[in-house]
Structure 1
Amino acid sequence: MPDAGLLVPPDRVQRWVENFQGRHGTTALTVLDGGLEGSASDGSTFRMDLPFATRYAGLPDASAFAAAARTAPPADWGVLLVRKGGFAVARLSGTRTSASKVGQRHVQGRTKAGGQSQQRFARRRDNQARQAFEAAADHAVRLFGDLAGPVVTGGDASALEAVLEDPRLRALQVLQRRLPVPDPRRAVMEQAVADACSVGVVVHNSDGPSWPGRSSADGADGR
């Protein structure tokens, strides 16, 4: 699953485009393959995609694109964040959280011990991780039992894979965009919900490659 790149909240999309134009010059906007693309006079370009794999079919206009982004969150969808240190599960209607669960599980770090001690430690660590993933799956089943919409994931790829292998979760519609998150806590989950509702942006500067990360209120393209 590919990681998310630059994330811009819908309310900042128009300002982001204006800042891009201020830094790179006159920018022509076009709609291509369900996204909004911009090409500046200095050769720099960007592409914006709506959240939830929604295809944009409106006018080549930043305000119209922002309006489409604000209406993109489904009426019923979920967030699943998993790392070895914990998990967070949330069910949402639009941007409102209707139910959630955040949990932490202790998984020991690595050891420098060798021989049988190292093997026992590795088995104990594997058991702790498995218990953590089972707890995450149980809560996902409880909250997502009759989920009609998609699930946005975040965290460690192998941990997510272990949770989603649960037969009870195989019918979920899991979106490809995986959010990079630290060990899930309540604040991390809330930020993940905001990020899931944000526009994905890829920037190609004329003097260098694009940059990843979360947008700031005033940032145009990270320079």
Structure 2
Amino acid sequence: MEISPERLRGWLDGFYGRHDGATEDGLTLTGTSDGDTATLHPPPGLGAPADLDALLAAIARPPRIGLVLARKGALAVGVVEGTDVSTSKVERFYVQGRTAAGGWSQQRYARRRDNQADHAAQKAADVVARVLLPHVPELRALVCGGDRAMVDAVLADRRLAPLVELRHPHLLDTPEPRLEVLRDAAVAARKVRIHLVP
């Protein structure tokens, strides 16, 4: 499950209440009554808080992060401060859809589609470089979303190596990138992920 930082303290109180208390080991809680566990994963850019108190203190001061949302036909990129997108760019690219044609025609369309996807990834890398590279010194993490293959293709550009070093492993599940989707992703990127094991 995912929970916003503002609701985390209440959720923790609820966990303690539902389990007649709990023991803490780093960012893992174990219920006293039944052994249920909850492991908390900090939002991107917070490093590795040693315990729950450190996590609660860290999420109160959200870091500046970069966002890259990519699918074959679109890209949204931005710099996020808290939940506000301070700098952004949204771009669309033409990538032909699949065709019902068979035989040589299908192969020709597939090659054309692959070429268009490669060209889109290159243009997307240009946009990411222009928007995010000037902010690398102040970014604490890069959060990506959308289609993993397209994100990987964009970040394969050598110029973006400084951003790749900041990339968070969790991929946001986002629809076609647009400005509103980018704003929603800025909120989602701050959420604390909780892995519950009954």
Q: TM class by shorter-chain length? A: 0.7 to 0.9
Residue 156 of structure 2 corresponds to residue 161 of structure 1: no
Once residues 188 and 126 of structure 1 are traced to their aligned partners in structure 2, the CA distance between those partners, rounded to angstroms, is 26
User: Tell me, which stretches of 5 or more residues in structure 1 are unaligned?
Assistant: 1-5, 206-223
Partner of 1:122: 110
Q: What are the superposed Cα offsets for residues 124-160 of structure 1, whole Å, 9 maximum, x if unpaired?
A: 2112212321222111000112312221111211111
Q: What secondary structure does 1:107 align onto? A: coil
- Over the residues paired in the alignment, what is the CA RMSD in angstroms? 2.0
Structure whose residues are more often helix by fraction? 2
Residue 3 of structure 2 corresponds to residue 16 of structure 1: no
Partner of 1:197: 190
1:18-57 residue pairs with structure 2 within 5 A?
18-22=13-17, 24-32=18-26, 36-40=27-31, 41-52=33-44, 53-57=46-50
User: Tell me, which stretches of 5 or more residues in structure 2 are unaligned?
Assistant: none
Asked if 2 retains the 8 angstrom alpha-carbon contact of 1:81 and 1:88, the reply is yes
1:84 to 72, 79, 85: 72
Relative distance call for 1:109 and 1:19 in structure 2 (3 A) is farther
Once residues 171 and 25 of structure 1 are traced to their aligned partners in structure 2, the CA distance between those partners, rounded to angstroms, is 44
Q: 1:169 is matched by which residue type in structure 2?
A: L
- Relative to the length of structure 2, the TM-score reads 0.86
Partner of 1:134: 122
Identity of aligned residues (%): 40
Once residues 50 and 167 of structure 2 are traced to their aligned partners in structure 1, the CA distance between those partners, rounded to angstroms, is 23
Relative distance call for 1:30 and 1:84 in structure 2 (3 A) is same
Relative distance call for 1:55 and 1:192 in structure 2 (3 A) is same
Partner of 1:220: none
